[in-house]
A and B are shown apart, each in its own frame.
Chain A
Amino acid sequence: RHYGRGKHTLRVASRANTHTHTTHKHKRMSFQPYQDNGGTGLAIAGPNYCVVAADTRLSTGYSILTRKSSKLITLGPKTVLASAGMQSDAIMLRKVLRMKSVTYEHEHGKPMGTTALGQLLANTLYGRRFFPYYTFNIVAGLDDEGVGAVYTYDAIGSGERVSHASQGSAQALIQPLLDNQVAHSNQTTEKRILSLDDAIALAKDAFTSASERDIYTGDTLQLLIITEEGIREEHIQL
């Protein structure tokens, strides 16, 4: 019922216009199990070397959490894992892989090779098919013959061996550059095999370009160079 004259009416609650339902609409509180911490990794395989690179920026939303977080971990004497995506899942994944590879070493009397670690990662990721590790991984190293091997995976373990790969927030920016320079795609001149120095220079160039255009990539570039002698580390400011 309305009381008062003209436009200014006093609306008095009566049974006619009182809402009788007791439930009220409220925002559904939900827990988001995943977050994207950004970052990018790449790997290039050569005839007797493997170059793995990743940036060290950790972000959430539009903020930077730290500029010094590593995405690379050494899984075996000749194998490195690069994980981009959610950092807590990456840490958990590393722990699980480390546990399994130590068990393997005890059982077989020798450390796991790159191909074996590649398969182990694929199986581990698929084991969590219905609640995945939110990580985008690259396994890189030297295979049993001493030739560079790079395996690239999606979040649920679909992977393959390739000559070059990139994963993470700047994947779309870096992958075509690697296709063009490593695999020599769309070029009519004779293909040349990249030397180790060329591959390192290419990785640095790819990351400097990616840091220009991708906000989640930057700060420092951590490079691991795997050769017969072992694994060498370099740090470059971006």
Chain B
Amino acid sequence: IRVWWCSKRVIMGDNIMTYNGGCSVAMVGKDCVAIASDRRFGLRQQTLACDNERIFRINDRTFIALNGLGTDVETFIEKLCFRLNLYKFRESRDIAPRTLGSLVSNMLYEKRFGPYFVEPVIAGLEVDKATGAVTPFVTAQDLIGAPCFPGNFVVGGTCSESLYGMCESLWRPDMEPDDLFETVSQALLASLDRDCLSGWGAVVHVITPDSITTKTLKARMD
């Protein structure tokens, strides 16, 4: 095991979380949420794909984006889908975003001393069964499942510092879906342009109670 760990370090380099690159951001608006990510997949400085999907639709009201090591993103989403299918069988209903957050947190903490190198970003709409009121919800976690619930925006990935700076400046409360789309797009594109490991276009999903709008942005393709 010791030899395997050493050789992994030689392959992956000093930071496993920046090996494949990529980033994502989720923002809260007025009765809507947006989640966006870039589309690059690479091996350190070499780019391999420009159509990598990092955001996964859980159901019509919940999306999850997984940043970090590509192989762990694939494995984790498959394991997550397995758990979600079981949930569907037992509960006969779609999972709520907050519950998904707890599930993901638990799955990550199970591997506390040998974690999945993924940092999830979750966005969704909580629907109150009694009143029908819709509350937008975002959460992000670290690789061992420690969540945060900031209420305005969450970021993750290699250019997270840049995304924090952009979102902190551009976000304001109660944005309509069109406004929210513009804000998320500008925040993401400006941050992508300053990060070598992210880029090659972006995907933005805007989720409202009635619709999901998906747009692909063409940024600097480099």
What is A's interface to B at a CB cutoff of 8 Å?
170, 172-177, 179-180, 185-187, 205-206, 209-210, 212-213
Contact = CB atoms under 8 A, between A and B. Distances in A.
Contact of B190 (A177, A206, A210, A213): A177
A165 to B, nearest CB: 12
B29 to A, nearest CB: 19
A172 B166 contact: no
23 contacts: A172-B161, A172-B194, A173-B165, A173-B166, A175-B194, A176-B162, A176-B166, A177-B165, A177-B166, A177-B170, A179-B190, A180-B166, A180-B186, A180-B189, A185-B190, A185-B193, A186-B190, A205-B169, A206-B169, A209-B165, A210-B165, A210-B168, A213-B164
Nearest to A176: B190
Interface of B: 159, 161-162, 164-166, 168-170, 185-186, 189-191, 193-194, 219
Given A175-B162, A186-B186, A209-B169, 12 more contacts: A172-B194, A175-B165, A176-B191, A176-B193, A177-B169, A177-B170, A179-B194, A205-B169, A206-B169, A210-B165, A210-B168, A213-B165
Nearest to A212: B168
A186 B218 CA distance: 9
A185 B159 CA distance: 17
B162 A209 contact: no
A11 B186 CA distance: 72
A175 B191 CA distance: 9
A110 B194 CA distance: 40
A176 B167 CA distance: 11
Given A172-B162, A173-B161, A209 B168 contact: yes
Nearest to B185: A186
A-B residue pairs, 9 tightest by C-beta: A173-B165, A209-B168, A176-B190, A172-B161, A186-B189, A180-B190, A209-B169, A213-B164, A176-B162
Contacts of A205: 169
A95 B86 CA distance: 69
Nearest to B191: A176
Contacts of B189: 180, 185-186
A174 B166 CA distance: 7
B138 to A, nearest CB: 16
B219 A173 contact: no
Nearest to B165: A173
A186 B190 CA distance: 7
B193 A173 contact: no
Nearest to B155: A213
Nearest to B194: A176
A131 B159 CA distance: 30
A186 B186 CA distance: 7
A171 B156 CA distance: 18
B168 A186 contact: no
Contacts of B190: 176-177, 179-180, 185-186
Contacts of A186: 185-186, 189-190, 193, 219
Nearest to B166: A176
B62 to A, nearest CB: 27
A170 B193 CA distance: 17
Contact of B162 (A173, A185, A187, A212): A173
Contacts of B162: 172-173, 175-176
Q: Residue among B168, B185, B191, B219 with the most chain A CB within 10 A?
A: B168
A212 B164 CA distance: 9
Contacts of A172: 159, 161-162, 165, 194
A205 B166 CA distance: 11
Nearest to B219: A186
A62 B170 CA distance: 28
A205 B190 CA distance: 16
A194 to B, nearest CB: 15
Contacts of A212: 168
